[in-house]
Structure 1
Amino acid sequence: MPGGDGNPDGSGNPGAGTDPDPIIGDVDFSVRSEWNTGFTGNVGITNTGGKAINGWKLEFTAPFEVNNIWGGKILSHEGNQYTIESAEWDGFIAPGASIELGFNGTNSDNMQLTLNNVELNDVPIGTVDQTAASSGIV
């Protein structure tokens, strides 16, 4: 019998038109380097759950503009809101493993370089107990 993810073995391997698996994860943002008008930022995504992540989607608001990205693809950018999805090669994150993506961004008027309203596969990060999120309690 097919799994609930549309794959005969229920493995969750992504295919065309499939949504990312629900996840339990952690997102860390850091500034690697900074100069007068820009910076290089890194975002680490760690799978803190017991099930592999097969495709991820990261959403956040930021006071800066992302000019170039590696390790992910920008799906949308409206105002300060970004939606980024996994690249073809880094969508699978085993339990306990991490991936990293990076980008260059603008830095004007000494703005605060932070990510706000962060969601990973539609789960708010930093405002929801990740253990509760895995059991469906939000």
Structure 2
Amino acid sequence: MAEKRSGCPINMTVELLGDRWSLLVIRDVMFTDRHTFAELHAGSQEGIATNILSDRLKRLVAAGVLRRTSVPGSRNRVRYDLTERGVDLVPVLTAIGRWGARHLDVDDALCQVVQDLHAGGPDAQERVQQHLRERDLTPA
């Protein structure tokens, strides 16, 4: 991460995650179970360019939000999984999505996960976090 402008936690978080694409990459790994570069690129509803995706994956790995591992049996294929830092973003993404659902003209079908997580409260978010820990943090 580049040199910080201040020690303010909001500032530092925005510097890391506040660009147009980082949270969308995390969203796709987290909620759509896409883990390879090809899956993330092909599944991007927003049409992320390959150079931007590559840059964001490198930044998120360097920041400890994602982990990059080689796919067994493949020379060039890698997988991106959430780290504990990434799993801790579930409530953040839920809050951002909930705000968007309340205040913006969004697709109702795409709001369902956020609405369910919000309605279920902290227990629902913790269940999702536990699922992500088992999926991404537990060695295969």
Q: RCO (CA 8 Å, sep 6+): is it higher in 1 or 2?
A: 1
TM range (shorter): under 0.3
Q: Give TM-score, length-normalised by structure 1.
A: 0.22
Larger strand percent: 1
Q: Higher helix proportion, which one?
A: 2
